Amino acid sequence: MLTTKFITENATEVIARLAKKHFDASLIVSEVISLDTLRKTTQTKLDEVLAEMNAISKAIGDLYKQGKKQEADEAKEKTVVLKEKSKELSDILDSAEQKLHTLLLQIPNLPHASVPEGKGADDNTIERSGG
């Protein structure tokens, strides 16, 4: 199975080499690239939300120690909103990863550069024979 990184870095090569097998990979490759971009941006947003939640949670304890109950309650309400947002982002991330994995399974391995273009074994050329 080809990796997402290889496909995104070598999209034109992947499409060209799979064209030798008469496999049109242009739509799948473009969808893999867009899903990978979505996955990366969603992961970044999720990490930011989780970091903010951790910072607020740590601050809540300090606010209670200082006797600032009202501010601590406001911070708790904000963490509830952030938890919901993190759940949404996590669901989007899981969905994107599943779709990406399904697409990667649909892309065949690349033929070697020396392989001639053809649909089947009849189109192959004999390079050498042993005996």
CATH number at residue 52: 1.10.287.40
Residue 66 lies in a domain: yes
CA–CA dist 47, 52 (Å, integer): 9
Residue 114 lies in a domain: no
CA–CA dist 87, 90 (Å, integer): 5
pLDDT higher for 88 or 66?
Answer: 88
* Enclosing domain of residue 65: 4-107
Amino acid (1-letter code) at residue 87: K
**Contacts (Cβ under 8 Å, ≥6 apart) of 80:** none
Q: What's CA 50's distance to the chain center, in Å?
A: 19
Report the predicted TM-score, pTM, of the whole model to 2 decimal places.
0.80
Residue 12 lies in a domain: yes
Domain count of the fold of the chain: 1
Which range among 24-38, 54-68, 106-120 shows the weakest confidence by mean pLDDT? 106-120
Residue 49 lies in a domain: yes
Work out the pLDDT band at 63, boundaries 50, 70, 90: confident
Residue 117 lies in a domain: no
pLDDT > 90: what percent of the chain? 67
Residue 118 lies in a domain: no
CA–CA dist 90, 85 (Å, integer): 8
